């Protein structure tokens, strides 16, 4: 008999119950169980073609099924980017200065999209560490207008953890999503979607999330060509609505070796078919943010089971590249278990492509990271936010990913 069992036996003999004894102080804390009244659901199979035939080989996925799934998300969820918006943008360096406190150089770059006589400019901030390049790049889709992006930003600001990223030896860039397309239902004419609008709107026209993801690709068009940046080692990061955007950007743009998807909730990494009181649903998100998705997505309000996709398939679109999803214990609105399951159920595609995926179908304890092969997940204590704890988890994964990319050369 081990000492722990013996001690519990003595407590029981003294008349105490197991509940009174309590778990050991070191026992890991787990996320709460699902509500008992949550309806059952069946997920669409990413490894079946639209005609029902099985996706049997990696070549089947790469040559055909991946394209099918991308088109389903474009048609039913995020929308299609106009052909006129696919070309590279004009850009210019407008400011550059050293930041001694960070041992880095800060630059402001302005990107300009043109269509006919109209134009739209949005700025990007870039910090590069001292020393010789090229170095990996971490791009943040910043969804908060209050986060400072200039050279004089506070060193300890966490939402864009510049100091921590630079300490790892990486460059980092950020742009404010609202500069690309306003985060308002009435902002269409002021953003890039209005710039490229042509004719009557269609139900699969791009929503604001797709416009923000488009901007991420246009940013790396420019930054990946700079001498200081290693275009083979790039990560995309986003929180909340920015997390939804980061995952969709990485699904489409294979230059991103890693997607860090923080508390993305409904329309991001979580399973839409999980319905219970207290979490965001398709009906709620489209009512509150009608501009984020395409018009077709609104048809699935309270009809999630009719969608031909769910968001494990969105995670799978990044395969075999890495996805790391993060949740917060108190962020029930985003459904942390649904976010975890979005990662877990992408596993069959990762395994088909030679990756092992996550090692377990059980969520890790609060405060821990589960890393597998190609997929990672963590859940921390606290509310909805992008914190230094999240950044450190993502950057530890980035170190693995960037090392893999270096070895592959």
- pLDDT recorded at residue 14: 33
Domains of the chain, earliest start first: 1-30 (no CATH), 58-407 (3.40.50.1820)
For the chain, the distance separating the N- and C-terminal CA atoms, rounded to the nearest angstrom, is: 54
Question: What are the Cα distances from residue 160, in Å, to 110, 350, 354?
Answer: 19, 30, 33
- Could you report the per-residue pLDDT of 295-335, keeping only the tens digit for each? 999 999 999 999 999 999 999 999 999 999 999 999 999 99
Contact yes or no for 366/30 (Cβ under 8 A): yes
Contact yes or no for 213/206 (Cβ under 8 A): no
- pLDDT recorded at residue 11: 31
**Residue 396: exposure state from Cβ atoms within 10 A (0-12, 13-18, ≥19):** middle
What band does 406 get if pLDDT is binned at 50, 70 and 90? confident
384 is catalytic: yes
- Could you report the per-residue pLDDT of 66-98, keeping only the tens digit for each? 999 999 999 999 999 999 999 889 999 999 999
Residue 190: other Cβ atoms inside 10 A: 14
State the Cα–Cα distance between residues 124 and 264, nearest whole angstrom: 23
Judged against a pLDDT cut of 80, whether residue 208 lies above it is answered with: yes
Q: 362: which DSSP letter? A: S
Q: What percentage of the chain exceeds 70 in pLDDT? A: 94
State the Cα–Cα distance between residues 247 and 269, nearest whole angstrom: 8
240 is catalytic: yes
- Could you report the per-residue pLDDT of 365-399, keeping only the tens digit for each? 999 999 999 999 999 999 999 999 999 999 999 99
Catalytic residue among 125, 217, 240, 327: 240
- Could you report the per-residue pLDDT of 258-283, keeping only the tens digit for each? 999 999 999 999 999 999 999 999 99
Quote the tokens at residue 227.
């001498």
- pLDDT recorded at residue 24: 55
Quote the tokens at residue 315.
């995670």
Question: What are the Cα distances from residue 115, in Å, to 119, 213, 402?
Answer: 6, 19, 37
Residue located via tokens 């999503």? 177
What band does 132 get if pLDDT is binned at 50, 70 and 90? confident
State the Cα–Cα distance between residues 384 and 322, nearest whole angstrom: 23
Contact yes or no for 177/142 (Cβ under 8 A): yes
Question: What integer best gives the mean pLDDT of the chain?
Answer: 93
- pLDDT recorded at residue 20: 43
- pLDDT recorded at residue 134: 97
Contact yes or no for 275/39 (Cβ under 8 A): yes
- Could you report the per-residue pLDDT of 1-52, keeping only the tens digit for each? 333 323 323 233 333 333 445 555 568 999 999 999 999 999 999 999 999 9
- pLDDT recorded at residue 151: 97
The three-state secondary structure class of 95 is strand
Radius of gyration of the chain from Cα atoms? Answer: 22
State the Cα–Cα distance between residues 289 and 301, nearest whole angstrom: 13
- pLDDT recorded at residue 9: 31
State the Cα–Cα distance between residues 327 and 340, nearest whole angstrom: 8
Find the mean pLDDT for residues 183-209.
96
State the Cα–Cα distance between residues 341 and 86, nearest whole angstrom: 33
85: left (phi over 0), alpha (psi -120 to 50) or beta: alpha
Residue located via tokens 């508390």? 263
Residue located via tokens 């035939």? 53
Bridge partners of 138, per DSSP, are: 172, 235
- pLDDT recorded at residue 402: 98
């Amino acid at each position: 008999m081990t000492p722990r069992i013996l001690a519990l036996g003595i407590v029981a003999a003294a008349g105490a119950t197991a509940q009174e004894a309590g778990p050991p102080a070191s026992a890991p804390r787990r996320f709460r169980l699902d509500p008992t009244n949550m309806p059952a659901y069946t997920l669409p199979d990413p490894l079946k073609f639209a005609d029902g035939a099985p996706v049997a080989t990696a070549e089947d996925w790469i040559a055909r099924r991946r394209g099918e799934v991308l088109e389903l998300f474009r048609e039913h969820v995020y929308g299609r980017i106009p052909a006129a918006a696919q070309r590279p943008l004009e850009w210019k360096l407008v400011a550059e200065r050293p930041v001694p406190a960070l041992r880095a150089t800060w630059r402001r770059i302005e990107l300009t999209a043109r269509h006919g006589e109209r134009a739209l400019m949005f700025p990007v901030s870039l910090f590069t560490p001292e020393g010789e390049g090229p170095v990996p790049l971490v791009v943040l889709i910043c969804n908060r207008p209050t986060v400072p992006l200039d050279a004089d930003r506070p060193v300890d600001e966490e939402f864009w953890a510049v100091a921590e990223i630079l300490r790892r030896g990486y460059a980092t860039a950020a742009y404010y999503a609202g500069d690309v397309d306003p985060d308002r239902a009435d902002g269409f004419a002021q953003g890039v979607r209005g710039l490229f609008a042509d004719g009557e709107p269609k139900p699969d026209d791009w929503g604001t999330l797709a416009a923000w993801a488009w901007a991420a690709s246009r940013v790396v068009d420019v930054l990946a060509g700079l001498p200081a940046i290693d275009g083979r080692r790039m990560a995309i990061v986003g929180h909340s609505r920015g997390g939804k955007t980061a995952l969709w950007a990485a699904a489409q743009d294979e230059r991103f070796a890693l997607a860090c998807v923080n508390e993305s909730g409904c329309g991001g990494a979580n399973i839409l078919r999980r319905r219970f009181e207290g979490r965001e649903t398709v009906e709620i998100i489209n009512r509150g943010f009608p501009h984020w998705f395409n018009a077709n997505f609104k048809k699935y309000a309270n009809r999630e089971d009719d969608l031909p996709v769910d968001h494990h398939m969105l995670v799978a679109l990044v395969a075999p590249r890495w996805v790391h999803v993060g949740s917060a214990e108190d962020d029930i609105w985003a459904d942390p278990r649904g976010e975890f399951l979005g990662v877990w159920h992408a596993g069959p595609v990762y395994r088909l492509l030679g990756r092992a995926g996550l090692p377990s179908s059980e969520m890790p304890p609060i405060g821990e990271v589960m890393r597998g092969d190609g997929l990672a997940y963590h859940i921390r204590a606290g509310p909805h936010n992008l914190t230094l704890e999240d950044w450190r988890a993502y950057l530890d994964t980035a170190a693995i990913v960037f090392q893999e990319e270096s070895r592959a050369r």
